[in-house]
Amino acid sequence: MRIMLLLFVMGIVPAIIIEAVMVQTQEERAVSQRTITVQNQCAILCDQLANLGYIENPSSEVVDGELSILTNIYGGRIMIVNRDYKVIKDTFKLDQGKYILSQRVIDCFNGDETSRYDKKNQYIEMAQKIASPDEKGSGDACGVMLISVSTTEIQVTKDLMEQRGILVLTVLIAAILVLGYFLSGLLVKPFQKISSSIEALADGYAEETISVPDYLETEMITNAFNRMMRRIKTMDDSREEFVANVSHELKTPMASMKVLADALNSQPDAPVEQYREFMQDISKEIDRENQIITDLLSLVKMDRKAQDLNIETVNINDLLTLIIRRLKPLAEKKNVELILESFRPVNAEIDQTKIALAFTNIIENAIKYNKPEGGWVRTSLNADHKYFYVTIADSGIGIPKESVDHIFERFYRVDKSHSREIGGTGLGLAISRSAIVLHRGAIKVYSEPGEGTTFSIRVPLVYIA
Ligand code: ADP
């Protein structure tokens, strides 16, 4: 409807304006042409009058004849006024002998020849001075010729043109309406196609992508829509995968516990040592179950919105010292040396708990996945005017090339059996990355299998909401 209206307005408004301007121009042109023609003829007549001395003696039959021919041709009236403002000739014979003291006559005697178009009463009025050729320009007129000619026929032509214009406009309106109806339907069709495709998709009985390549715009819309659908699908898939992984991870320790308990149950007279050993294993599995649940809860917390962050200004040097002190026992157990290098004091606006968890996970990994003897983990802190940078390098086993891109995924572990032995849940790095991203930071990893791994982290000094 809107497109049709637009087409209508765009078609009709200019047509109406053009028609009005054309009719108006035609009228002005006709009037000015008529004025010039009559003025020219009257000028000749005026010269003749002056030469014949008609003003002094208004009894020339030749002049009378010419005057009546002129007035007949143009349907007008001519009056001749002498210096005493007396009408000495009136072709209508109405005012002959009377005195006429109008401004136009006075102006004309003063050399100001005027013409005026009276549109309402449909005539042109002109005043022309009568002076012999040698007196011309000096303003010494001996008389004034007042001419009025009818413009009825100009008006008739104008009316005719207007009528034709209205006829053409009516035809044009009808054509535009019909054309607009079809054209707007045609223009909108691709968009209707898009909306029906989306509806079909939403109702679930269509392909997962839509394609309407009719216009560049519709192609862009459908491409954007398809991209969005792909994202939703990826999110859906990853959610499904996550739930499957969580269930699996939670079931594994339970299954182990069940096997251990069943084994004990099936032997009524099992020795106490075996009981103790199996119970210790069950206890380990419970710890593991606990660890997975704790990690899952941390991850859920990280997935929340940024407004849940508890931002405060924290001294990062102190924070890293504290984390390293806490991890010292684990490092000693694994015979790993912990080194902390601080290049400058750094204070930053962060959520201390979340960032501490992120660094703890990464340093803990660096200890866990280190070489069996004489390993080291070097943590260094630096900053510029915008960010602080933490690098955690280790001399560990490294990460294979094909796994580097996946280590931040939830539940991803490079070597499932090995990590299980070490005690990972596969959630640590996912938690760390979420925490850093929540602070609008970035984390990158470089690794050389067999030589070591370096994590570099960048976090803004000032928290950007
Ligand atoms: P996990 O709880 O298993 O440690 P993470 O998410 O913390 O889970 O790490 C994912 C995987 O990335 C680990 O299982 C391990 O294989 C690998 N990884 C992480 N950090 C290191 C490291 N510093 N050196 C070698 N491998 C690492």
The half-sphere exposure of 6 on its side-chain side, counting CA atoms within 13 A, is 6
Q: How confident is the prediction for the chain on average, in pLDDT?
A: 89
Which DSSP state fits 99?
A: B
Which has more confidence, 152 or 418?
152
Mean pLDDT of the 287-294 span: 90
Reduced to 3 states (helix: H, G, I; strand: E, B; else coil), residue 321 is: helix
Q: Identify the residue whose C-alpha is closest to ligand 1 atom 19.
A: 365
Q: Is the pLDDT assigned to residue 418 strictly greater than 80?
A: no
Is the overall model pTM greater than 0.75, yes or no? no
Mean pLDDT of the 158-186 span: 91
Rounded to whole angstroms, the Cα distance separating 354 from 152 reads: 95
Q: Is the pLDDT assigned to residue 135 strictly greater than 60?
A: no
Sign of CA dihedral 174, 176, 182, 185: negative
Percentage of the chain beyond pLDDT 70 is 95
Which has more confidence, 359 or 181?
359
Cβ(125) – ligand 1 distance below 6 Å = no
Q: Is the pLDDT assigned to residue 137 strictly greater than 60?
A: no
Q: Where are the beta strands (DSSP E) in 103-251?
A: 115-118, 123-130, 143-150
Mean pLDDT of the 207-212 span: 82
Q: Which amino acid is it at 351? A: D
**What's the pLDDT at 200?**
87
Cβ(365) – ligand 1 distance below 6 Å = yes
Q: What tokens were used for 254?
A: 């339970």
Rounded to whole angstroms, the Cα distance separating 123 from 145 reads: 16
Q: How confident is the model at residue 134 (pLDDT cuts 50, 70, 90)?
A: low
What is the CA(461)–ligand 1 centre distance, in A? Answer: 27
Q: Identify the residue whose C-alpha is closest to ligand 1 atom 23.
A: 366
What is the CA(282)–ligand 1 centre distance, in A? Answer: 25
Q: How confident is the model at residue 52 (pLDDT cuts 50, 70, 90)?
A: confident
Q: Which amino acid is it at 84? A: D
In b/e form, how buried is each residue of 89-118, taking b as 16+ CB within 10 angstroms? bbbeeebeeeeeeeebbeebbeeebebebe
CA distances from 15 to 4, 26, 163, 173, 183 (A): 17, 16, 14, 10, 19
Angle in degrees, CA 445, 451, 453, rounded to 5: 20
Rounded to whole angstroms, the Cα distance separating 300 from 174 reads: 66
Cβ(397) – ligand 1 distance below 6 Å = yes
What is the CA(359)–ligand 1 centre distance, in A? Answer: 13
Strand partners, 336: 375
Q: Which atom of ligand 1 is nearest to the CA of 412?
A: 10
Cβ(369) – ligand 1 distance below 6 Å = yes
Q: How confident is the model at residue 335 (pLDDT cuts 50, 70, 90)?
A: very high
The two beta strands, 347-351 and 336-342, are: unpaired
Percentage of the chain beyond pLDDT 90 is 54
Rounded to whole angstroms, the Cα distance separating 91 from 146 reads: 11
Q: Which of 88-97, 299-308, 345-354, 421-430 has maximum average pLDDT? A: 345-354
Strand partners, 394: 377
Q: Is the pLDDT assigned to residue 141 strictly greater than 90?
A: no
Cβ(380) – ligand 1 distance below 6 Å = no
Cβ(197) – ligand 1 distance below 6 Å = no
End-to-end alpha-carbon separation of the chain, Å?
45
Cβ(298) – ligand 1 distance below 6 Å = no
Q: Is the pLDDT assigned to residue 22 strictly greater than 90?
A: yes
In b/e form, how buried is each residue of 238-274, taking b as 16+ CB within 10 angstroms? eeeeeeebbeebeeebeebbeebeeeeeeeeeeeeee
**Lowest mean pLDDT: which of 9-23, 154-168, 232-246, 376-390?**
232-246
